[in-house]
Chains A and B, each alone.
Chain A
Amino acid sequence: MSTSSVLYDHPGPRARIRNTVLSVVFGVALLGLVYWIYTKFDQAGQWEGWLWKPFTDSKTWTEFILPGLWATLKAAAVGMLLSLAFGIIFAVGRLSDHKWISIPSGAVVEFFRAVPLLLMIFFVFYGLPYVIKQPVTAFWAVVIGLTLYNGSVLAEAFRAGIRSVPGGQSEAAYAIGMRKSQVMQLILIPQAARAMLPIIVSQLVVLLKDTALGYIVAYPELLQRGVNDLSANYGNIIPAAMVMAVIYIIINSMLTWFAGWLDRRSRVRAFRVPKQTTPAGAVDSTPEGGATVAEPQG
Chain B
Amino acid sequence: MDVFTDPKNFDAFVSGFLWILKLTGASAVCALVLGVLLAAMRVSPVPVLRGFGAAWVNIFRNTPLTLVIFFCYFGLFVTLGLSLSDDLELNIYWLGVIGLSIYTAAFVCEAVRSGINTVPTGQAEAARAIGLSFAQTLRIVVLPQAARSVVAPLGSVLIALCKNATIVGTIGLMESSNVMKDLINSYGNAVIPIFLVFAGTFAALLIPTGYFFGWLANKLAVKR
Contacts and interface: CB of A to CB of B under 8 A. Distances in A.
A100 B49 CA distance: 54
Contacts of A237: 74
Contacts of A209: 62-65
B181 A110 contact: no
A41 interface: yes
Given A119-B202, A123-B195, A296-B160, A227 B70 contact: yes
A296 to B, nearest CB: 4
From A1, A15, A40, residue with most partner B Cβ within 10 Å: A1
Given A1-B117, A44-B79, A285-B118, A241 B71 contact: yes
A244 B67 contact: yes
Interface string B133-161: 11001100010000001001100110111
12 contacts: A8-B134, A41-B79, A111-B203, A118-B170, A119-B198, A126-B185, A130-B184, A213-B66, A227-B70, A285-B114, A296-B61, A298-B164
B194 A11 contact: no
B22 interface: no
Interface stretch (B7-15, B85-93, B102-110): B102-110
A114 B206 CA distance: 6
B67 A119 contact: no
Interface of A: 1-3, 6-9, 11, 15, 19, 22-23, 26-27, 30, 40-41, 44, 46, 110-111, 114-120, 122-123, 126-128, 130-131, 205, 209-213, 215-216, 223, 227, 237-238, 241, 244-245, 248-249, 252-253, 256, 276-279, 281-282, 284-287, 291-292, 295-298
Contacts of B43: 3, 7
A123 B116 contact: no
Contacts of B167: 118, 213, 298
A8 B128 contact: yes
Contacts of A6: 121, 124-125
B192 A278 contact: no
Contacts of B66: 212-213, 215-216, 223, 298
Interface of B: 42-49, 52, 57-59, 61-67, 70-71, 74-75, 79-81, 103-104, 106-107, 110, 113-114, 116-121, 123-125, 128, 133-134, 137-138, 142, 149, 152-153, 156-157, 159-161, 163-167, 169-170, 176-177, 180-181, 184-185, 188-189, 191-192, 194-195, 198-199, 202-203, 205-207, 210, 221-222, 224
Given A292-B153, A296-B104, A298-B164, 13 more contacts: A7-B43, A8-B45, A22-B48, A44-B79, A115-B202, A130-B189, A210-B64, A248-B64, A249-B58, A282-B117, A286-B114, A295-B156, A296-B164
State the main secondary structure of chain B at its contact with A. Answer: helix
Contact of A298 (B48, B64, B71, B114): B64
A252 B57 CA distance: 12
A216 B46 CA distance: 42
A30 B67 contact: no
Contacts of B75: 238, 241
Contacts of B133: 8
A93 to B, nearest CB: 18
B67 A245 contact: yes
B124 to A, nearest CB: 5
B46 A252 contact: no
Contact of B163 (A11, A116, A211, A277): A116
B37 to A, nearest CB: 12
Given A3-B113, A119-B180, A297-B164, A23 B120 contact: no
Contacts of B176: 119
Contacts of A285: 114, 117-118
A114 B128 contact: no
Contact of B128 (A9, A130, A131, A297): A9
A23 B103 contact: no
Nearest to A9: B128
Nearest to B223: A277
Given A127-B194, A241-B71, A248-B62, A1 B116 contact: yes
B224 A296 contact: no
Given A110-B207, A227-B70, A291 B124 contact: no
A130 to B, nearest CB: 4
A295 B180 contact: no
